[in-house]
């Protein structure tokens, strides 16, 4: 298909989102920007959370990863499911009880202002890195397969995406995202279904053949493997707890529910949906892998993250190409636009004290819009500088980085909840968090290789445990009357 047609589809889709943003944001006040008015049905929010969790990295990397790793990613997904149930049972009732806008306000109540700023800072770093990597992957795919041939440079592509994303989120905020992300979830799932249909038609597969295709390896049973099933399930639970339950981007949507029971229902059903959707993406990956064998393309030595786009653009026909293009756009934007909005909320609430009526500036809307623009520019610069793409599937790169950036958040929240009567010395909180990241890196790159051990995603709970212990030691030296 002509690259200009895909470009027009891309612009038309973004224009549609801009229209939705205008309609949902034209009467939105500051509370609506940050909390969505608490009027949206829980199932709409759950659908939007599915879109936010399935970024462009997921859309491309999970199917591509099946070719070399089989269905072993389901080990992590099962861990996700366990983590979501814990969030529904423990964290959501806590956040509603405290009536939080930024979830890091809990750290202010528990540890003081330094604890709040430390937690929010780690969230900002985590989401900027993660969102940059996800958008970089999506943009690089479009650049590699057709935008370069049209003479459109990477810098212009990123500017256009960030500008349009800013335009449809700067006014409505979370109120807009609840609807645009639900739309984008529908687009992604439709793209998934249409691509499966294209594979089915191209190879004329029967249901029995699909069953054989889905019999790839599910479990990694070697305890020395970085992705041994026991480690992956445990790590998946901690990843869900940290990257959903302790993440402003995901929790800001749940806090937009009307009541705590709706938010819990949203999270529980979101967990079931994630299992089903990830299995569908793995099934798609198995179909793509089978297509490579069936068409004699196995010797092309494609990177894992290039398998899906190559087959969609060159082998599976027009329908698959359109479906892939719109699905990737939806997957990329659903993650990035949410991040752009929640970075703004976290910074305004945690660093500019918007949550305190006494310190609220005279023109909060103008300041918030400037912060929003600032984060759009920050993401633009990070995307241009992002150099994390390797021959490995980027989904694993992103999750590994999360082990370093979300670990201190896990330690801070777990210490606050498990040891409610202990308080560390305030100035030690950021110090302990930074030292924890350094010790985790030391273990991963120096100690573990010398011991013949291959760490996987368990770096995140390890990082959290080190932070927890450091905070506990600090609390022992705090004066009793302090």
Q: What is the pLDDT of residue 79?
A: 92
More confident residue, 202 or 133: 202
Confidence of residue 426 (pLDDT cuts 50, 70, 90): very high
Taking only the tens place, the pLDDT of each residue in 25-76 is 666 555 555 555 566 677 777 777 777 777 666 777 788 777 767 788 888 8
Q: Are both 326 and 454 inside the same structural domain? A: no
Q: What is the pLDDT of residue 27?
A: 63
Confidence of residue 388 (pLDDT cuts 50, 70, 90): very low
Whether 301 maps to a domain, the answer reads yes
Whether 401 maps to a domain, the answer reads no
Taking only the tens place, the pLDDT of each residue in 151-160 is 777 778 778 7
> CA neighbours within 13 Å on the CB side: how many for 156?
7
Whether 392 maps to a domain, the answer reads no
Whether 305 maps to a domain, the answer reads yes
Question: Per-residue pLDDT averaged across 380-406, rounded?
Answer: 68
Q: Are both 99 and 184 inside the same structural domain? A: yes
CB 189 within 8 A of CB 361: no
Q: Are both 35 and 149 inside the same structural domain? A: yes
Q: Are both 69 and 27 inside the same structural domain? A: yes
CA distance 126 to 105: 18
Q: Are both 284 and 138 inside the same structural domain? A: yes
What is the number of structural domains in the chain? 2
Q: Are both 43 and 74 inside the same structural domain? A: yes
* Gyration radius (Cα) of the chain, Å: 22
CB 64 within 8 A of CB 379: no
Q: Are both 334 and 453 inside the same structural domain? A: no
Q: Are both 254 and 194 inside the same structural domain? A: yes
Q: Per mean pLDDT, which range of 92-96, 138-142, 152-156, 280-284 is the poorest? A: 138-142
Q: Are both 420 and 291 inside the same structural domain? A: no
Residue 419 pLDDT greater than 90, yes or no = yes
Q: What is the pLDDT of residue 344?
A: 82
Q: In CATH, what number is assigned to the domain containing residue 199?
A: 1.20.1730.10
Neighbours of 382 (CB within 10 A): 17
Q: Per mean pLDDT, which range of 124-133, 366-375, 450-459 is the poorest? A: 450-459
Q: Are both 172 and 217 inside the same structural domain? A: yes
Among 386, 417, 435, residue at a domain's last position: 386
Whether 79 maps to a domain, the answer reads yes
Taking only the tens place, the pLDDT of each residue in 355-371 is 776 766 777 778 888 88
More confident residue, 69 or 481: 69
Q: Are both 217 and 188 inside the same structural domain? A: yes
Structure tokens at 23: 């309609």
| Domain that residue 361 falls in | 3-386
Whether 197 maps to a domain, the answer reads yes
CA distance 168 to 25: 8
Q: Are both 378 and 411 inside the same structural domain? A: no
More confident residue, 89 or 224: 89
Q: Which residue has the tokens 């891309």?
A: 10
Whether 399 maps to a domain, the answer reads no
The overall average pLDDT reported for the chain is 80
Handedness of CA 383, 384, 388, 394 (dihedral sign): positive
CA distance 240 to 70: 22
Among 386, 414, 431, residue at a domain's last position: 386
Whether 400 maps to a domain, the answer reads no
Among 354, 386, 418, residue at a domain's last position: 386
């Amino acid at each position: 298909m002509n690259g200009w047609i895909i470009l027009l589809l891309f612009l038309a889709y973004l224009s549609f989102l801009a229209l939705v943003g205008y309609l949902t944001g034209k009467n939105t006040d500051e509370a609506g920007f940050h909390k969505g008015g608490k009027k949206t049905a829980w199932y709409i929010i759950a659908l939007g959370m599915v879109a936010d969790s399935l970024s462009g990295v997921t859309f491309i990397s999970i199917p591509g990863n099946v070719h070399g790793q089989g269905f072993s990613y389901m080990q992590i997904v099962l861990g996700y499911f366990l983590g979501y149930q814990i969030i529904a049972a423990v964290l959501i009732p806590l956040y509603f009880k405290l009536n939080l806008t930024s979830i890091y306000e809990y750290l202010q109540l528990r540890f003081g202002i330094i604890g709040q700023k430390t937690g929010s800072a780690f969230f900002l770093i985590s989401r900027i890195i993660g969102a940059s990597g996800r958008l970089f992957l999506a943009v690089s795919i479009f650049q590699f397969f057709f935008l370069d041939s049209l003479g459109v440079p990477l810098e212009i592509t990123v500017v256009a995406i960030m500008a349009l994303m800013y335009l449809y989120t700067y006014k409505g905020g979370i109120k807009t995202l609840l609807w645009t992300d639900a739309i984008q979830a529908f687009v992604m799932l439709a793209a998934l279904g249409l691509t499966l249909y294209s594979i089915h038609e191209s190879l004329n597969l029967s249901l029995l053949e699909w069953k054989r295709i889905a019999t790839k390896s599910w479990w990694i049973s070697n305890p020395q493997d970085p992705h041994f099933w026991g480690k992956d399930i445990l790590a998946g639970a901690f990843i869900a707890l940290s990257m959903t339950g302790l993440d402003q981007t995901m929790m800001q949507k749940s806090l937009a529910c009307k009541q705590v029971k709706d938010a819990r229902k949203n999270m529980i059903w979101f967990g079931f949906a994630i299992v089903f959707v990830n299995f569908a993406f793995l099934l798609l990956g198995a179909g793509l892998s089978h297509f490579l064998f069936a068409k004699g393309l196995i010797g092309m030595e494609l990177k894992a993250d290039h398998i899906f786009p190559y087959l969609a653009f060159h082998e599976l026909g027009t329908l698959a190409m359109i479906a892939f293009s719109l699905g990737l756009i939806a997957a990329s934007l659903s993650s990035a636009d949410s991040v752009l909005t929640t970075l703004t909320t976290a910074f305004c609430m945690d660093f500019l004290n918007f949550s305190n009526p006494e310190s609220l500036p005279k023109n909060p809307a103008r300041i918030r819009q400037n912060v929003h623009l600032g984060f759009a520019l920050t993401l633009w610069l990070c995307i241009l500088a992002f150099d994390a793409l390797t021959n490995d599937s980027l989904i694993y790169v992103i999750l590994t980085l999360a082990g370093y950036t979300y670990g201190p958040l896990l330690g801070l929240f777990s210490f606050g909840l498990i040891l409610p009567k202990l308080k560390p010395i305030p100035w030690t909180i950021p110090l302990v968090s930074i030292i924890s990241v350094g010790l985790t890196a030391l273990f991963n790159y120096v100690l573990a290789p010398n011991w013949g051990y291959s760490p996987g995603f368990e770096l995140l709970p390890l990082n959290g445990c080190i932070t927890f212990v450091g905070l506990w030691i600090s609390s022992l030296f705090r004066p009793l009357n302090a």
